[in-house]
Amino acid sequence: MLNMKVKLYDLLSKILEVPRDKMNDEISPVNTPTWDSFNAIMMIVELEKASGVSFDMNDLMSVKDVGDIKRILDKYNIKYEC
Amino acid sequence: MDRLKEKIISESDTFASCILLSKEIDKILKKADKKAAILSNFTVKGLSECLKVKSFANDIFLQVYEGEYGQWKQEILGNKLYEFKPDIIFLLIDAHGLDNNILYENDDIKHDEINKLKEEAKNELLQFVNYIKSKTSAKIIVSNSVKIWPPIAGIFDNKLKNGYCEIVDGYNNNLLNIYKNDGQVFIFNFNEWLGYIGKKNFWYGKYYFMADMRLSPEAIPLLADELTSYLIPLAGKKKKCIVLDLDNTLWGGVIGEDGLSGIKLSSTGDGQQFYYFQKLLLSLNKKGVLLAINSKNNEADVKEVFLKHPNMVLKENNIVSSKINWNNKAENMQAIAKDLNIGLDSLLFIDDDLSNRELIKQMLPEVDVLDLPTDSTKYVQTLLNYKGFNTFEFTEEDKKRNEMYLQDKKRNEYKNIFIDMDTFLRGLDLRVSIKEVDDLLIPRIAQLTQKTNQFNLTTNRYHEDDIKNFIKLGDKLWALEVSDKFGEYGITGFCMVKNKTDLWEIDSMLLSCRILGKKVEEQFFGFILSELKKLKPKKVRAYYKPTLKNNQVKDFYKTFDFYKMKSSEIEDIWERDLDNYEFNQHSFIEINKC
């Protein structure tokens, strides 16, 4: 599990209902109405499940867009693919 | 639909996947089988979706009403909930006040004050539950309260005059006692369940502080799965019989190769896991679950194990049908269903062999297949977690079921000796009692309306409260009890007639399949017509509502000289006058009117 790459864009595009080829670092709750509080929880649960890591709440609260998610995955040394 | 079900079974393990799958279910345009409402005093967002998905995996098409967040009391007192017409209401109430006040202030609050808090929390809940009861006959599932571990006072908690654990236990026990004999309200042991899946990981975690989700979202699909325990019996999807493989299922090893002394089955040490698995099967059997065998083996070898192995828990008289041969298991499975006169969808198949399981899944998708783990030490836990044997009531018939089916087996052997039907029936010494339904019979009658599929003219499903209500309204309700020289069948038939101004209307007419083929159905209904004639010789109107299973009774009323007045996809309407009706009682059936 830990050596596997997290399929980040697959996962986000499924939850946010944004086509995979439209995914980018700038996607955020501001420009994407489907990024509501419920879907945000879903993203965290799925990312934790896929990576086997439990994120610190402070890190999660700092997320403002997809770029921030990548930054956190890097911080936890989680490999991912876009 | 089947493809979606497969997808659900293989993919519905995470929170997000459940939510996404529920959207696919929402696209199906179909009338709901059952309606469930969820009210809670903590966030269970996503539970509706998960519940729909987990129900779908059990062939239940569920519609869900989710109360507004934090407004369970307003929901109960308002109208929206009742306009939704739920069949079941989940009331997930964690005694919040108890936690906050007692967990943290335990030492400072005086004895009386704590008791008062406990009483208040309980009384408040009772009031609301009673209010729901006054508005609907839906089943009400009330959760008990979670006990957090460890208590602040640590090891000294249970020495305090009002320790935290003692208080929560007291509150929970109180709930149990109040509803012990209530057929409408069931207490969901949320505390124990959460302990089982892990309070440490799923209760008051980071999601509580981020989104007020006391129960972590990862646990929501698990909760939905657990709650299907209530939905399965509610939707009449209960299983009746476990069909068992033998080698490496009931014992370790292969009898044909390892021999009587070589197979693993022991009350201690190696083989213990099989011994306890059999013990569990025996307990289920005593609760009314039938057991059958479907095995590729030499029958003589198997017989030897049943008769001679000192640690065999199951005996031959626990098995109501057995197919031990070299045929394919799908054929055997059909033969077992036919033997017992039950549908394939009432069977659960347990086999350690993956290819046999796949065969049944492919050939007979109606049969439920338990995914037995390769590690036999996990058999017991796996079967314990199977939800299909849950039930809202445990009747006398349930207790006697195994015995009754064994008698059937003997009857069938006896039947083979006779050539013509009448001689056979005469030899049975059939005794039929027809009783007006009273309070004692209500649970069994409700159960019959929920479970009977084949010989059921209208398939109207009723709860105990409905039946009570019909009696109160003055409708005519008759129950049929049958016995013969081999033993008792118990209460196996029901007919309800509504007294309309200018006619009698047959609302329900059903018989358990076990007593068919003995002309009892003719006698039961014939007798009812004669009773109606005595009461008032009005016209009788009867209905046949087709389902996937009741085709055999399509022309039942024709045999009583009813005329088909109207026929449509939804129902056929039959009528006849009673003036000229004469009841022909068979000489070989003795009828007692009680």
Q: For residues B417 and B490, what is the distance between their CA atoms, to the nearest angstrom? A: 25
pLDDT exceeds cutoff 90 at B6: no
Strand ranges (DSSP E) for A1-82? 6-7, 80-81
Domain boundary among B234, B262, B285: B234
Tokens 């009005």 identify what position?
A: B538
Quickly state the pLDDT bin for B373 (edges 50, 70, 90): very high
Cis peptide bond N-terminal to B150, omega within 30: yes
Instruction: Using CA coordinates, name the residue in chain B closest to A54.
Output: B206
B20 near A CB under 8 A: yes
**Is there a single domain that holds both residue B203 and residue B319?**
no
Q: Is the pTM of this model over 0.90?
A: no
Quickly state the pLDDT bin for B197 (edges 50, 70, 90): very high
Taking CB atoms and an 8 Å limit, are A14 and B211 in contact across chains?
no
Name which residue leads in pLDDT, B558 or B427.
B558
Tell me, yes or no, whether B395 lies in a domain: no
Number of folded domains that form chain B = 3
Give me the mean pLDDT over the B412-435 stretch. 75
Give me the mean pLDDT over the B302-315 stretch. 95
pLDDT exceeds cutoff 80 at B190: yes
What domain range is B356 assigned to?
Answer: 241-384
Give me the mean pLDDT over the B82-103 stretch. 82
**Is there a single domain that holds both residue B553 and residue B445?**
yes
pLDDT exceeds cutoff 60 at B419: no
Taking CB atoms and an 8 Å limit, are A42 and B218 in contact across chains?
no
For helices A37-51 and A66-75, give the axis angle rounded to 10 degrees.
30
Q: For residues B276 and B311, what is the distance between their CA atoms, to the nearest angstrom? A: 10
Tell me, yes or no, whether B391 lies in a domain: no
- On whether the CB atoms of residues A11 and A46 are closer than 8 A, the answer is yes
**Is there a single domain that holds both residue B431 and residue B284?**
no
pLDDT of residue B462: 93
**Is there a single domain that holds both residue B256 and residue B366?**
yes
pLDDT of residue B275: 97
Q: For residues B36 and B141, what is the distance between their CA atoms, to the nearest angstrom? A: 11
Quickly state the pLDDT bin for B98 (edges 50, 70, 90): low
pLDDT of residue A17: 93
- On whether the CB atoms of residues B352 and B254 are closer than 8 A, the answer is no
For helices B190-197 and B220-234, give the axis angle rounded to 10 degrees.
130
**Is there a single domain that holds both residue B552 and residue B460?**
yes
pLDDT of residue B65: 96
Residues of B in contact with A43 (CB under 8 A): 16
What's the CATH number for A6-81?
1.10.1200.10
- On whether the CB atoms of residues B19 and A42 are closer than 8 A, the answer is yes
| Cα B249–Cα B340–Cα B423 angle in degrees, nearest 5 | 145
Name which residue leads in pLDDT, B111 or B127.
B127
CB–CB contacts below 8 A, A to B: 37
Residues of B in contact with A14 (CB under 8 A): 16, 20
- Which residues in chain B (325-384) have CB-CB distances under 8 A to chain A? none
**Is there a single domain that holds both residue B206 and residue B83?**
yes
- On whether the CB atoms of residues B553 and B459 are closer than 8 A, the answer is no
**Is there a single domain that holds both residue B504 and residue B521?**
yes
- On whether the CB atoms of residues B459 and B451 are closer than 8 A, the answer is no
- On whether the CB atoms of residues B271 and B310 are closer than 8 A, the answer is no
Phi, psi of B262 (to 5 degrees): -90, -20
Residue environment code for B473-503, b if the CB has 16+ CB neighbours within 10 A, otherwise e: eebbbbbbbbbbebebbbbbbbbbbbeeeee
Quickly state the pLDDT bin for B321 (edges 50, 70, 90): very high
Choose the weakest-confidence range: B61-70, B85-94, B316-325, B413-422. B413-422
**Is there a single domain that holds both residue B17 and residue B127?**
yes
pLDDT of residue B415: 66
Domain boundary among B199, B217, B234: B234
Q: For residues B396 and B288, what is the distance between their CA atoms, to the nearest angstrom? A: 9
Tell me, yes or no, whether B433 lies in a domain: yes
Which residues touch B426 (CB under 8 Å, ≥6 apart)? B587, B588
| Cα dihedral B517, B520, B523, B525 sign | negative
Please name the member of A14, A37, A45 whose beta carbon is closest to the beta carbon of B15.
Answer: A45
Give me the mean pLDDT over the B49-58 stretch. 96
Tell me, yes or no, whether B120 lies in a domain: yes
Tell me, yes or no, whether B347 lies in a domain: yes
pLDDT exceeds cutoff 90 at B70: no
Tell me, yes or no, whether B326 lies in a domain: yes
B14 near A CB under 8 A: yes
Collapsing DSSP states into helix, strand and coil, what is residue B492?
Answer: strand
Tokens 């098995």 identify what position?
A: B319
pLDDT exceeds cutoff 70 at B101: no
Q: For residues B2 and B17, what is the distance between their CA atoms, to the nearest angstrom? A: 18
**Is there a single domain that holds both residue B265 and residue B226?**
no
Quickly state the pLDDT bin for B420 (edges 50, 70, 90): low
Taking CB atoms and an 8 Å limit, are B217 and A46 in contact across chains?
no
The pLDDT tens digits for B205-244 are: 899 888 888 999 999 999 999 999 999 999 999 999 999 9
**Is there a single domain that holds both residue B455 and residue B580?**
yes
Which residues touch B263 (CB under 8 Å, ≥6 apart)? B247, B251, B252, B253, B254, B255, B271, B305, B309
B218 near A CB under 8 A: yes
Taking CB atoms and an 8 Å limit, are B16 and A37 in contact across chains?
no
Two tokens, residue B402: 């195994």
Choose the weakest-confidence range: B87-101, B336-350, B405-419. B405-419
Q: For residues B275 and B265, what is the distance between their CA atoms, to the nearest angstrom? A: 6
| Cα B194–Cα B195–Cα B199 angle in degrees, nearest 5 | 75
Is the reported ipTM for this assembly greater than 0.95? no
Quickly state the pLDDT bin for B476 (edges 50, 70, 90): very high
Q: Could you tell me the CATH number of the domain that includes residue B380?
A: 3.40.50.1000
The pLDDT tens digits for B533-547 are: 998 888 999 999 998
For B200, what's the count of Cα atoms within 13 Å in the CB-facing half-sphere?
A: 2
B209 near A CB under 8 A: yes
Strand pairing of B347-350 and B368-369? parallel
Instruction: Using CA coordinates, name the residue in chain B closest to A61.
Output: B210
Residues of A in contact with B45 (CB under 8 A): 38, 41
pLDDT exceeds cutoff 80 at B81: yes
Quickly state the pLDDT bin for B293 (edges 50, 70, 90): very high
| Cα dihedral B530, B534, B537, B541 sign | negative
pLDDT exceeds cutoff 50 at B114: yes
Q: pLDDT exceeding 90 applies to what percent of chain B? A: 63
Taking CB atoms and an 8 Å limit, are B211 and A15 in contact across chains?
no
Two tokens, residue B472: 């109160």
pLDDT exceeds cutoff 50 at A1: no
pLDDT exceeds cutoff 70 at B109: no
For helices B164-179 and B111-135, give the axis angle rounded to 10 degrees.
30
Residues of B in contact with A37 (CB under 8 A): 211
Give me the mean pLDDT over the A63-76 stretch. 95
The pLDDT tens digits for B256-288 are: 889 999 999 999 989 999 999 999 999 999 999
**Is there a single domain that holds both residue B123 and residue B263?**
no
The pLDDT tens digits for A49-59 are: 999 999 999 99
Taking CB atoms and an 8 Å limit, are A49 and B218 in contact across chains?
yes
Q: For residues A25 and A23, what is the distance between their CA atoms, to the nearest angstrom? A: 7
B16 near A CB under 8 A: yes
Q: Could you tell me the CATH number of the domain that includes residue B494?
A: 3.40.630.30
Instruction: Using CA coordinates, name the residue in chain B closest to A50.
Output: B14
Please name the member of A11, A42, A57 whose beta carbon is closest to the beta carbon of B210.
Answer: A57
Quickly state the pLDDT bin for B121 (edges 50, 70, 90): confident
Domain boundary among B206, B234, B262: B234
| pLDDT averaged over every residue in chain B | 90
- In angstroms and rounded to an integer, the radius of gyration of the C-alpha atoms of chain A is 12
Taking CB atoms and an 8 Å limit, are A15 and B45 in contact across chains?
no
Quickly state the pLDDT bin for B461 (edges 50, 70, 90): very high
Taking CB atoms and an 8 Å limit, are A42 and B211 in contact across chains?
no
pLDDT of residue B410: 78
* Identity of residue B438: D
Q: Could you tell me the CATH number of the domain that includes residue B81?
A: 3.40.50.1110
- Classify residue B129 as exposed, middle or buried by CB count within 10 Å of its CB (0-12, 13-18, 19+): buried
A37 near B CB under 8 A: yes
Taking CB atoms and an 8 Å limit, are B217 and A45 in contact across chains?
yes
Minimum distance, in Å, between the CA of residue B206 and any CA atom of chain A: 7
Residues of B in contact with A46 (CB under 8 A): 14-16
The pLDDT tens digits for A8-49 are: 999 999 999 999 999 999 999 999 999 998 999 999 999 999
Which residues touch A7 (CB under 8 Å, ≥6 apart)? A50, A80, A81
Q: For residues B195 and B165, what is the distance between their CA atoms, to the nearest angstrom? A: 14
In 3D, which of B580, B556, B382, B415 has the Cα closest to residue B485? B415
**Is there a single domain that holds both residue B347 and residue B377?**
yes
Taking CB atoms and an 8 Å limit, are B14 and A45 in contact across chains?
yes
- Which residues in chain A (39-78) have CB-CB distances under 8 A to chain B? 41-43, 45-46, 49, 54, 57, 60-61
Taking the C-alpha atoms of B438, B443, B444 and B445 in order, what is their torsion angle to the nearest 10 degrees? 60
